[in-house]
Amino acid sequence: MPTDDRKFLELVTENRNRILRVCRVYAWNSADHDDLYQEILVQVWRGFPALKETQFANTWLYRVAINTAISFTRKLASSTGRVVHFEQADLTRTIESRQTTEDNRRQH
C-alpha cells in the first residue's frame, strides 16, 4: 500500500469517532448519516494530497467534516423544502461537549 494511502487510513481511523459524532449531529436519519459519513471521507480524500502541515491533520479533518456536514445539511434542506436554522458555533459546542462526555466515560 502506498505511503499516502496508509497515512490517509491512519488519519481516518484515528478520527473515526469524531467523524461519527459530526454525522450524528448533522444527519436527520440513518440513511443521511451514512451518506454524510461517505461524503466527509470523499472530501477528506480529495483534500488530503494538499495537506502540508501534518501536525494539524486532526484539526484539518475536523474542519473538513464540519464544513461538509453544513453543506450536506443545506443541500438536503433545500431539496426537501425543510428550513434549517443553526449556528455553527452552537453545533460545534454540542459536538465538543459530547466528545468530552464520551472521553470522561472512557476514563472511568
Percent share of the chain, pLDDT over 70: 71
Residue 54 banded pLDDT, cuts 50, 70, 90: confident
CA distances to 8, 32, 44, 45 from 49, rounded to whole Å, are 9, 27, 9, 8
Q: Do the Cβ atoms of 36 and 72 come closer than 8 Å?
A: yes
Residue 4 banded pLDDT, cuts 50, 70, 90: confident
Q: Class of 3-107 per CATH? A: mainly alpha
* Residue 95 confidence (pLDDT): 61
Q: How far apart are CA 18 and CA 68, in angstroms?
A: 14
Q: Is pLDDT above 80 for 50? A: yes
* Residue 46 confidence (pLDDT): 96
